[in-house]
Each structure stands twice: as structure tokens, then as C-alpha cells.
Structure 1
Amino acid sequence: MENRLDAKYWDDRYREQQTGWDIGSPSTPLKEYIDHLTDVNQAILVPGCGNGYEVEYLLQKGFTNVTVIDLAPTLTCKLTEKLARWNGKELTILTGNFFDHSGSYDLILEQTFFCALDPSLRIDYVETMFRLLKPGGRLAGVLFNREFPGGPPFGGSLQEYETLFSPFAKKSIEPCNNSIPSRMGTELFIRLEKQAG
């Protein structure tokens, strides 16, 4: 199987605009989650940020400490231009592999990153998320509750996620009631919290 973590694979997808997952705006479940966040100074990471709609929404809402990381240099270059007014101040844009990233975050937002990874990397995903979160830090976002032939995207199920995310002290994994029409009934919203102190 082709290495789905290969920067060239993803860079080619963006250069050739083969981005069928791109909905052109922030995901409704994540947008509504962001609307309820009150601490605009918390350290937030968005891995595999894509075209950064949720990132731009965070910045427009006044969040001051947002970091994004993506493998595709075509994409991060585009984001540097698109989000220039925040870049280097409220926003840090990184080109690189999430699994090699080091940092310390209060909140990590998940939106179509998990489903882009080969399923063999899921335990690594959980371990890396756990490492990057501060004590009491949270991982929140959207996962698919369905299967896809081939992939990416790669699907999954509630039962799998319950087991996979067992290291987290607090877990809420519930069906999204506010998905976009084409994804209605196929998405779960996760709220996971690392043990405090």
C-alpha cells in the first residue's frame, strides 16, 4: 500500500485539487464546539489542518495561540498567504509530520486528520495526542462512524473508538446531530480529556 503519510502524496492531492473531503467552510460540529469555548488564550493545535477553515474561524473569534501542522508544503505555503495577518503572531504554521511534533497544548482539534491516516497508525495517533496534551488537556472533534472501501478516508466505529481512546480519563463519544447533510448519521463527536496533574 502507498504510504499515506508521505508528504508527496498529500502535496500532489492539494496541487491537483483532488480534495473531495473539503467542504469549503468550517465543519458545523466543530464550529459549534468552538462557539462554546471561552478561554481565547489556550494553546490549540490543529493537526492535518487542510485548508484551515476551522483555524481561520478560531482566529476570527479572537483566539491568540493556535498552531497548525500539515505534511503538504503546497498547503502550508497557501495557508501562510491566506492567514498572513495572524501568522507569526496568534498563529504558528508548521510543515511536518504530526508524529514527530513536540509541544504542549490545552486543546487539540480533530477534523478529517484521523480518517486520513492508515488504520495501522491509530495507536500511534492516540499516544502522540496524549503526549502533546497538557495534564487536563482535551482532544475534541469529529470521527466517521462508517466504513469506506479502500481509503483514504478510512472509517471506524464507536466500539473501536471506545477501546482505542481508553487511555483518556474522561470520554464522551456521541453521534453528531449537526453534521452537514451529506455526512448526517455518519459522524461522531469526541470529547476526550487527559488526566489532570
Structure 2
Amino acid sequence: MTTDETRSALDWEQRFVEDSTPWERPGLHPAFVDWQASGAFDGLDSVIVPGCGRAPEVAAFADAGIATIAADLSTTAINWQRKRLEECDLTATLFEGDVLAWRPDAPLDGVYEQTFLCAIPPRLRTEYEATVYAWLKPGGQLFALFMQKAERGGPPYGCSLDAMRALFPADRWTWPKTSPASYPHPSLNGKPELAVILERR
């Protein structure tokens, strides 16, 4: 795990060791459930989950037959994912380290963004957008859950739609025409996450 404070505002490994992880939801994220039920993941052959933590979505993607990559700074989180996959007789590629410095061998079909963007310092957001763009093939999809938060500071850092439209500009990403669904977070005072699927141009 890196301790470079310019890359991470928190000691994520320590948080997982202490089980101090209020951003984790019990079970699959309801947006994941809705996306899967609607067929949004149909046709995905590969997906990455950056900042995967102990998200059950990693095993769920693998169980759906999608080549899954899970990345996190925390050794404890990665070991949890490894054990979970073994228990379910599933396989995925696990990456421990700075995922912004990682590149796939071939472009990916999808990125599942649940808790990574709101966790990194805002100064890294431009790098994150460029990294996700580089990961995806043209037509690849970013399944994003943008944390809505009025208070300053973080993590989590607020990801207002205006800021996200500026970060993921229309000349590089196709935005949906419909309004995003909102999913209040049960452990973060009901702060909503907005579900948006962006397509890489």
C-alpha cells in the first residue's frame, strides 16, 4: 500500500484493518442491482472496479461471466476479495496499488465507479478522467455513482453533476439524456449517489 499523501488523504489499509468503513453498503449496491436487471451489463466482456474495497460487486461481475479486475490500495481489502472469490469458486484479476498508474493489456468494456472518485483528492480528478478514458475502448461504458455532498472537504468529496459534466466533457463522453436515478446512502446520513452511465467516444 502506498502512503503517499499526495495520492491518498487517508490510510485506507488502517481503515479496513479497524473495520472503519462507513462508505460500504450492506450487500450489492441497489444501482448495480437495477443496472443488472435492466440489461445494462449485457455485452460486457471486461470490467474494472477501482477502489474495490470489500465490494460484493466484484464477485457479482465475475459470477456473470465478465472478466473482472479489482483494484485497491489496501492489502486487507484485496485479501478479502481473494477469499471471497475462492469461497464462490470464481476468478478475477486483483491489483494492489495505485490504480491510476495501471494500464490494461487491452482496452476494457466497462468501468464500475462506486467509491473511488469521491475518495481521491479533487486535484487528481483530471488524471482520473484521463485514466478511465485510456482504460476504455471506444463505446466503452463508465458506470458511475456520483456522491452528492454539500459540505466541503472529504473524503467523501462531493461530485456535483455540474462538476462531473465539466470533468467528463461531451467531446469525450456521451451523457444520457434522462435524469439520473438517486440512491441515498444509508450510512452517510442519506447522502444521495446519482447513477449515470457515460459512454466513451
TM-score by length of 1: 0.86
Alignment of 1:1-197 (within 5 A): 3=5, 5-6=7-8, 9-35=11-37, 36=39, 37-39=41-43, 42-60=45-63, 62-84=64-86, 85-87=89-91, 91-103=92-104, 104-166=107-169, 167-172=171-176, 174-179=179-184, 186-195=192-201
How far is 1:141 from its partner?
A: 2.1
Check 1:6–1:156 CA distance in 2 against 1; reply closer, same or farther (3 A cut): closer
Let me know the Cα RMSD of the aligned residues.
2.3
Which secondary structure state, in structure 2, belongs to the residue aligned with residue 82 of structure 1?
helix
Structure 2 unpaired stretches of 5+: none
Following TM superposition, by how much is the alpha carbon of 1:119 offset from its aligned partner in structure 2, in angstroms? 0.6
Contact 1:106 1:137 in 2 (8 A): yes
Letter in 2 for 1:97: D
Is the 8 Å Cα contact of residues 47 and 66 (structure 2) preserved in structure 1? no
Mapped contact 1:175–1:185 kept (Cα < 8 A) = no
1:4–1:74 distance in 2 versus 1, CA, 3 Å: farther
Structure 1: gaps of 5 or more residues? none
Deviations 1:51-75 (A, max 9, x none): 0211122233x22311111111111
Report sequence identity in percent: 28
